[in-house]
Amino acid sequence: MTIHLSILVFFPALMGLVSAFSPRSLAPKILLVGTLIPLAYTIYMITDFDAGAGLQYVTDDAWITELGIRYKLGIDGLNLWLIALTCVVAFASAVWLSVRTPERAGLFCFHFALGQTAVLGAFVAQDLALFVLFFDLMLVPFYFIVGQWGSGDRAAAALKMVIYTLVGSLLMLAAAVATAVLSNPGGELSFVLTDLQANLLSESQQKWLFVAFALAFLIKMPAFPFQGWMPDAYRSMPLPALAFFSGVVSKVAAYGFLKLVLPLFPAATNDWNVILLILAVISILYGSIQAFTQTNARLILGYSSIAQLGFITLGIFAIDASGQGAQGALLQSINHGLVVAPLFFVVALLAERAEGSEDIRDYGGIAFRAPVLAALFLIVALATLAMPGSANFAGEFLILLGAFSSVQALAFLASIGVILASVYALRMYIRSMHNRVGPKVTSFEMTLRDGLVLVPLVLAIIAFALYPQLALDAGEATVRSTVEAVLR
């Protein structure tokens, strides 16, 4: 038994448990340690990773033999960089929590750390039941965070979020069990992904199970028309948690498509992919249009996430011969996480300069007295709109390239989204930073401690813009073989 990945996954939760019993001032510091160690370990893994060697750092132990569930974890090209993203964003959120400690911080840190553990677990799980377990678990801490520390009608927002997403998850639970049972009828039950991949189901069986899985992931993203829970939850969730939730948790859904749906249901993917592509394009257009009509800064970001995740879905289901769409989707998952998290922190900083208002109509002229903040915001905003030179540009370019080579009409519609992205990103930037000084605005420069949160994230964006190839190389082989299996 190798325990490397177990440490990576459970260390945050362990530290979270410790911080739950710590005094208020100490709790975020302990959380900081809990996020720092996994981050350091991930960086080590990135340097150590061998792109050609398939699954690495494998932990494979019997867990529940009665149900054929194994405790199997592993790192491959698909999840390596997503894990890095998780650790980076979690670390940034932990720094933020140390600077601005919420009340009952111990419990907050516990929930947050549990969330990180669940996300990491979902990324490294190589067993379907284990994935479902972590995927469902992900929701619990955020339910408590929204319900206890949220603003506005938090209990209702929390309930809405849970019911929406768990309905999908429960269907996925049933579908996962059905997949395992049907793939080896009468034989030994096994949820291990490689076993399931070896005994693919018939096309008619795949069709129905695909729907359950797709529903769970589309709700989680969220994609049109399943975004109903998003506005309330985004409006209510505390910003450090929201940065992590929007930046990372939604990527688990995208990862689920690449890791589970395509390999396990290749025939059904071929049958359904047009529907998924249409939903993706609608998500792009709907999300973009909403993003430049909303005035609440959180919702602008929320709807822009819908658009961005639409791009990611588009790339995954483009299923072009060379797998460029899916590669772009993987890259874009990391990019979007990296840009949306700092944007939420920026929103928090903006709100501090406008009497707590998160409405961009109350903003304006903030850049004048906060040039560093403005510069950082500008970099992130440009990355969001996929400025050439940013990694987002590379990601969107690959996605559209893939889409053009398989479904031209939809790709054309989707490329409108690229233009719209610049509209909403720049609108938000200009409305807050430039223009006349808003009625509520009293601007001041960001502090060094806020810089500790934002600067590393911005540096990561820049680094990634320079070397997107790193992530692409790691995932290329896996992504390509996944797409080829569907095309076959």
Please give the residue ranges that form the binding site for other proteins (CB under 8 A): 63-67, 104, 129, 132-134, 136-137, 140, 143-144, 147-148, 154-155, 158-159, 162-163, 166-167, 170-171, 173-174, 177-178, 180-182, 189
What number of residues does the chain have? Answer: 488
- Minimum CB separation of residue 325 from other proteins in Å reads 32
Please tell me the distance from the alpha carbon of residue 401 to that of residue 324, in angstroms, as a whole number: 7
Long-range pairs of 225-228 with CB within 8 A, sequence gap ≥ 24:
225/279, 225/282, 226/164, 226/168, 227/306, 228/160, 228/164
- Minimum CB separation of residue 376 from other proteins in Å reads 35
Which token pair is 193? 């992904």
- Minimum CB separation of residue 36 from other proteins in Å reads 25
- Minimum CB separation of residue 436 from other proteins in Å reads 40
Question: What residue type is assigned to position 468 of the chain?
Answer: P
- Measured from the Cβ of residue 270, the count of other Cβ atoms closer than 10 Å reads 15
Comparison of 106 and 247: residue with beta carbon closer to other proteins: 106
Residue 399: partners with Cβ closer than 8 Å, 6 or more residues away: 311, 312, 314, 315, 318, 324, 325, 328, 329, 332
- Minimum CB separation of residue 302 from other proteins in Å reads 22
Comparison of 151 and 435: residue with beta carbon closer to other proteins: 151
Please tell me the distance from the alpha carbon of residue 66 to that of residue 233, in angstroms, as a whole number: 38
- Minimum CB separation of residue 140 from other proteins in Å reads 6
Comparison of 129 and 338: residue with beta carbon closer to other proteins: 129
Residue 322 in 3-state DSSP? coil
Comparison of 183 and 390: residue with beta carbon closer to other proteins: 183
- Minimum CB separation of residue 21 from other proteins in Å reads 10
Q: Angle at which helices 80-99 and 105-124 pack, to 10 degrees?
A: 170
Comparison of 12 and 77: residue with beta carbon closer to other proteins: 12
Comparison of 143 and 272: residue with beta carbon closer to other proteins: 143
Which helix H or strand E contains 73, and what residues bound it?
Answer: strand 69-75
Q: What is the dihedral of CA 293, 295, 300, 303, to 10 degrees?
A: -50
Comparison of 143 and 311: residue with beta carbon closer to other proteins: 143
- Minimum CB separation of residue 460 from other proteins in Å reads 31
Find the angle CA(116)-CA(117)-CA(121) to the nearest 5 degrees.
Answer: 120
Q: Are 192 and 73 in contact (CB under 8 A)?
A: no
Comparison of 147 and 240: residue with beta carbon closer to other proteins: 147
